[in-house]
């Protein structure tokens, strides 16, 4: 194997390790919230989860633009929220929403792990194809891309899920997770 290929493989593996560490942090928060609230989010329609993601992304953008925060949650915790709510949205797309909580914490965590693993596989493929371009991007660009993805999801939802040329809402949620992971990796590096 050529030296450049070896270096790329090492870079990709380092990204995968960092992705896993970020997801472990997010999973920890998800587990804590499951203990506090159970899987109460199961009653949320996907559109409500999209709106929840939207307000978190708008808050991040507001903070990035230098506006004063009146709530203590920092940008990092908002990106964690984007990851966790995106995984919840993926679960809702698979199971549908309910009028009552119909899964326990163990089932909710198993579903979380399933979608985190699927998203990591997507990241690996895209990261290979884009050759780690995310490292050269600004965190503010991730935020703008997340907001764009959310606007796309809202359009898809407003069209009852019908698409002509796009991959649909679940693919966009996975992209939001990946952009949020990249942001958290970069934010940790700045701290």
> Mind listing the pLDDT tens digit for each residue in 64-119?
998 776 777 789 999 999 999 999 999 999 999 999 999 999 999 999 999 999 99
pTM: 0.91
Burial 69-92 (b: 16+ CB within 10 A, else e): eeeeeebbebbbbbbbbbbbbbbb
- Name every residue whose Cβ is closer than 8 Å to that of residue 14 and which is 6 or more positions away in sequence: none
Higher per-residue pLDDT: 75 or 191: 75
Task: Please report the pLDDT score of residue 14 as a whole number.
Answer: 87
> Mind listing the pLDDT tens digit for each residue in 123-135?
888 888 988 999 9
Cα–Cα distance for residue pair 156/18, rounded to 1 Å: 31
For 53-71, what is the mean pLDDT? 89
User: Among all chains, which residue has been given the structure tokens 């999801």?
Assistant: 153
- Whether residue 173 contacts residue 57, with contact meaning beta carbons closer than 8 Å, is answered with no
């Amino acid at each position: 194997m050529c030296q450049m290929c070896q270096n790329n493989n090492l870079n990709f593996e380092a990204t995968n390790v960092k992705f896993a560490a970020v997801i472990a942090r997010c999973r920890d928060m998800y587990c804590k919230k499951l203990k506090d609230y159970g899987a109460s989010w199961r009653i949320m329609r996907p559109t409500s989860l999209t709106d929840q993601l939207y307000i978190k992304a708008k808050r991040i953008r507001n903070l990035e633009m230098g506006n004063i925060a009146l709530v203590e949650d920092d940008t990092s915790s908002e990106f964690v929220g984007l990851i966790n709510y995106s995984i919840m949205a993926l679960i809702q797309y698979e199971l549908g929403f309910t009028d009552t909580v119909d899964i326990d914490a163990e089932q909710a965590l198993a579903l979380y792990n399933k979608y985190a693993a699927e998203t990591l596989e997507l990241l690996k493929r895209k990261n290979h194809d884009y050759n780690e371009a995310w490292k050269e991007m600004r965190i503010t660009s991730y935020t703008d891309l997340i907001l764009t993805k959310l606007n796309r999801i809202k359009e898809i939802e407003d069209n009852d899920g019908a698409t002509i040329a796009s991959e649909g809402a679940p693919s966009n949620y996975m992209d939001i997770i990946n952009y949020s992971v990249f942001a958290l990796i970069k934010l940790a590096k700045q701290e």
